[in-house]
Structure formats: structure tokens, C-alpha cells
Structure 1
Amino acid sequence: MAEPRPPAPNDIRLRKILDETLVAPHWPDGFVMRGLEPGDALPLHALLSDVYGDGDEGPFEEWWPRVVGDPEFDPALCFLVIDAKGRLAAAALCWTSAYVKDLVVHPEARGKGVGEALMWHAFAVFRGRGATHVDLKTNTVDSAAAVRLYDRLGMFEVEWAG
């Protein structure tokens, strides 16, 4: 697996063991999950930029070729959640190495179980591909709510090089 960037202060690596504790995702009313379709890249970039707010993704013209050119990119591992108004409400962009690269939920969609359902879906997909665990990186300060979600999902901290 391509290792994520070196950790910043308060970054941690979390793991979910893909065992019999997996549950089926429950999609909240008004939200549907679908795969990546033509035309989704720009709204996905906008959502990532809005939620992360740190400009980390860079301009779309640089970001998208970097994403699709990554050897771990598989469009089948891009899970998008659309709200009742047809807007992109959340997304999980995962790498083939059973790594959740990005999980973002628009502020208007938070607190409804969308992120949890996305993670359960990703876990099931990776288990179906034969993975024994899924990893991700998060920040305990900047993403405290996400850390609470991951804890509820049964994820635990592992060594960074893990």
C-alpha cells in the first residue's frame, strides 16, 4: 500500500477488523448511495475542499489527474451519497489497499448517520474483496467528531507504519 503522508501533530491511524461484527449500512431517509459517474469529479472536489477547508486538495486541474493516476485508484471504490435534492451530501474515496483516503460529509448532512452508513458500506466492499481490515488516517483535534464515529464503528489505533 502507498503509505499516507507522514503524520501531522495529532494524526492517528485507525483500523477496523473485518470480521463477523460488520453490520449492513442503514441509509437515512432521503439519502442514497451510488458509485462514481461521469461528471462527479468536480462536485467531489468541491465537497472535499469545502469540508476540509485547508486547500490541501489543490486546484481541480491538479487534484483529479493525481487521484485517477494513483495506482491504488479504482472508481468502484468511490462511494457517493446523494441527498433528496440531488446534491452530493457525502463521499468516501478509498484506495485498493483497503484504505479510506477521504470520508467527507457536508455539514447539512451531519448527525443523520450518513458517514456511519458509508463506512459500513466500505467495510463490506473490502471484506467482499478479501481484505482482513480497513485503515484510515484522522486527526484527533481537527476531526474529533470523526474520531467518535470511528470509535463507535469499532476502529482502534495502530502504529503509523502499521
Structure 2
Amino acid sequence: MPEPRPPAPNDIRLRKILDDTLFPPRWPEGFFMRGFEAADALALHTLLAAVFDDGADGPFDQWWPRISADAEFDPVLCFLVIDGKGRLAGAALCWATGFVKDLAVHPEARSNGIAEALMRHAFAVFRARGAAHVDLKTNTVGNAAAVRLYQRLGMVEVDWAG
């Protein structure tokens, strides 16, 4: 895995050990999860840009070639949650080495359990692939609600280098 960028103030690395304590995801009523297709790239970028303070890490025409060409990118590890109107409500973009690169839920779809279900799904997929753990990076100040979710899911802080 490429070395993550050095942490910003209050950034932490969290890890979930993939043991026998995993619970299956429960998708909220009116939402379903499906796999990623290349035609979803623009909608995914739009969601990431809407959710993250720093946007989606550049305009689409720069972001998508960089993401899709990255050795860590595997479209099978990008999970999309669709609402009853066919709109992208949430997504988890994971790197092949067991790292959740981006987890995003559209503001209108929050508080439904989508992020928790996506994380539980990612845990199950990586465990089935033989991974021992899943990591992610988050910020304790700018993303305090997410930190609480990750801790509730059994994720613990580990050394930045992993």
C-alpha cells in the first residue's frame, strides 16, 4: 500500500481486527447496496465532493484517472448505497490492502445507519478475502461523529505507520 500522507493535526489511524465478533450489515429500509461500475464514477466523485471539506481531492477529470489507475483500486471494493429514488446515498471506497479510503453518506441520507452498514459490509468482504484487519484514517476534531461510530464498531487507534 502506498504510504498515506503524513497526518494532519488530530488525524488518527483506526483498525478493526477481523475476528469472530463481526456482525452482518443491516441495510436501512428503502436503501440497498450494490457494486460499483465505471459509469458510477461521476456520481461517486460528486458525493465525495459534497461530503468532504477538501472536496473529492480535485476535479473529476483529474480524480478519476488517478483513482482508477492506482494499484490499490479494485472496483469490487467500492460499495454503493442507493436510495429508493435511485440516487447515490452513500459509498465506501476501499483500497485492496484493507484500507477504507473514503466513507461518505449524503447529508440527506444521514442518521439511517448507512455508514455503519457500509463498514460492516467492508469488514465482511475483507475477512472473506483473508485480511486480518481493516484500517482507515480520520480526524478526531473534524470528524468526531465518525470517530464515535468507528469506536462503536470496535475500531481502535494504532500507530500512524500501521
Same fold per superposition (TM over 0.5): yes
Q: How many residues align?
A: 162
Of residues 106-115 and 13-22 in structure 1, the stretch that sits farther from structure 2 once superposed is 106-115
Letter in 1 for 2:132: T
Deviation string 1:69-110 (CA, Å, 9 cap, x unpaired) is: 110100000000000111000000000000000000111111
Match of 2:95 in 1: 95
For the pair 1:106 / 2:106, whether they are aligned, the reply is: yes
Look up the SS of the partner of 1:74 in the other structure. strand
TM-score by length of 2: 0.98
Structure 1: gaps (5+ residues): none
CA distance in 2, matches of 1:38, 1:66: 14
CA distance in 1, matches of 2:89, 2:26: 16
Following superposition, the deviation at residue 38 of structure 1 comes to 3.3
Partners of 2:32 and 2:82 within 8 A in 1 = yes
Following superposition, the deviation at residue 56 of structure 1 comes to 5.0
TM-score by length of 1: 0.98
Cα RMSD of the aligned pairs, angstroms, is: 0.8
CA distance in 2, matches of 1:50, 1:74: 23
- Taking every aligned residue pair, what percent have the same amino acid on both sides? 73
Match of 1:43 in 2: 43
Q: Give runs of ≥4 in structure 1 deviating > 3 Å.
A: none
Match of 2:143 in 1: 143
Match of 2:64 in 1: 64
Deviation string 1:21-52 (CA, Å, 9 cap, x unpaired) is: 10010000001000012310001000000000
Partners of 2:45 and 2:56 within 8 A in 1 = no
